[in-house]
Structure 1
Amino acid sequence: MPIVRLIRHGQSASNAGETTIYPDTIPLTPLGHAQAALVASCFLRPPRRVVFSAFDRAVQTAQPLCDRFPEVPVAVWPVQEFTYLAPRRYTGTTRRDRAAAVSDYWQRLDPRFRDAEGAESFVDFWDRVEGFLERLHTLAGSTVVFSHGQFLRGVMLRVLAGPLGAQEAMVRFRAIRTAVAYPNAAMTVLAMSPGQALLGQVRTSHLPPQMLST
């Protein structure tokens, strides 16, 4: 049975309230790097493979584990964060600056709406979630995936709720994105078997309380 560990990236500059440029170039903070090191220390034996998104904060979170087991194959998959605000419109902004636009997007509740160039629609995002789970079913052994809070919540929703149309998925996802905590460097175990997937709890026990962040 394939076992997948889903890990959110460590604290990023955006999580810390800092000004950022583009979604894919947001780096980890010093705390984020420390969280990544603790994640790597949890692994006593190498996984079969390490997967991460192309976004800098996911790559940087995966690096300590890759350094610990340099013989393990690595791969970049489309498990990047759901970017529904057009990046060029929000260059040089903070998370607080973007709050009103985020609220407007989720009030619209249109799964086919695309903000502008560089932004995804919810349909695009949901297709990536579906494709990710389909791909996992083809693997053997253990896989570690370094991804992002909203993408991982999308995976959780799809596993728990089963197949959903885009409109219903967006309605449910709007609730789960705020109702379910997925802190930085938290991890969840996903066990894949024919015809089903079993999801464990979101764990942060490897992080001391003073290193928890969202």
Structure 2
Amino acid sequence: MPTVILVRHGRSTANADGVLAGWSPGVALDDTGRAQATALAARLAVLPIAAVVSSPLQRCEETVRPLLDTRPEIPRHTDERVGECHYGDWTGRKLSELADEPLWATVQRHPSAAVFPGEKGESLRAMQARAVDAIRDWNDRIEAAHGADAMYLVCSHGDIIKSLAADALGMHLDLFQRIGTDPCSVTVIRYTAHRPYLLRLGDTGDLTGLVPPPRPKEEAHRPDDAVVGGSTGVS
């Protein structure tokens, strides 16, 4: 099954202002975020990316633009299922104010019980479920189109990526706040028939080590087995 490169969008104007953007329209990358997106395209240049899937929100579209400008052959898709959590009435409010809300403690300590207020508020459980369903769906699509060893990129949001990493690690959602993903960081999950492998988490450095090595004619273990004793890395 394919390997998915999960990219959190670059720093946005809302990030810089300490605002919970959610699905607010018109939230763009700031100057730092645009520089991060440009650097990301260079970091990803070595990787054979078969497709790009993006949240429909502006900050994600702007994050993948430098990559697609330099590699126009890569097909781009949009999927609302990897869009930001629907924070309901919390949307657009200052994080410093939200920290005083009773729900804040639930979000921090028992997120599986957290449901954001208002008609459009979503639970964190529902957010994780739709994101996991989206990735599993795209794994099947990418494998059918490009083969089992294909690699593709999904540009999404912090809580989405943290919840996907928790799922890959077999962690309960109540532990996902222990995971960190900085703007324009890369989290990489290789899926197999029996389990996923977390290859990178919140990586902001060199990605050369993710280049798929040539597959030997005879492998000492099945493709979805872990290497006993640890991987040999890349030479």
Q: TM-score, normalised by structure 2?
A: 0.72
Task: Identify which of 53, 60, 64 aligns with 1:62.
Answer: 64
Identify if the C-alpha distance between structure 1 residues 174 and 17 changes in structure 2 by more than 3 Å, giving closer, same or farther: farther
Given that 2:189 and 2:200 are in contact with CA atoms closer than 8 Å, whether structure 1 keeps it comes out as no
Paired position in structure 2 for 1:157: 166
Q: Distance in 2 between matches of 1:129 and 1:21?
A: 18
Mapping 1:127-142, distance limit 5 Å? 127-138=129-140, 139-140=142-143, 141-142=150-151
Paired position in structure 1 for 2:226: none
Paired position in structure 2 for 1:117: 119
- Residue 96 of structure 2 aligns to a residue in which SS? coil
RMSD of the TM alignment (CA)?
2.6
Identify if the C-alpha distance between structure 1 residues 67 and 24 changes in structure 2 by more than 3 Å, giving closer, same or farther: farther
Structure 1 position 191, deviation (Å): 1.1
- Residue 48 of structure 1 aligns to a residue in which SS? strand
Given that 2:5 and 2:153 are in contact with CA atoms closer than 8 Å, whether structure 1 keeps it comes out as yes
Structure 1 position 117, deviation (Å): 1.8
1:82 partnered with 2:85: yes
The one-character-per-residue Cα deviations of 1:107-158 (angstroms, maximum 9, x if unpaired) are 6756474511222123321221330232143122210111111100100111
Structure 1 position 159, deviation (Å): 0.7
Paired position in structure 1 for 2:154: 145
Paired position in structure 1 for 2:16: 16
Given that 1:17 and 1:96 are in contact with CA atoms closer than 8 Å, whether structure 2 keeps it comes out as no
Q: TM-score, normalised by structure 1?
A: 0.79
Given that 1:39 and 1:206 are in contact with CA atoms closer than 8 Å, whether structure 2 keeps it comes out as no
Q: Distance in 1 between matches of 2:153 and 2:175?
A: 27
- Residue 137 of structure 1 aligns to a residue in which SS? helix
Given that 1:82 and 1:125 are in contact with CA atoms closer than 8 Å, whether structure 2 keeps it comes out as yes
Structure 1 position 185, deviation (Å): 0.6
Listed as ranges, the gaps of 5+ residues in structure 1 are 163-171, 208-214
Q: Distance in 2 between matches of 1:150 and 1:114?
A: 13
Listed as ranges, the gaps of 5+ residues in structure 2 are 144-149, 208-235
Q: Distance in 2 between matches of 1:108 and 1:175?
A: 8
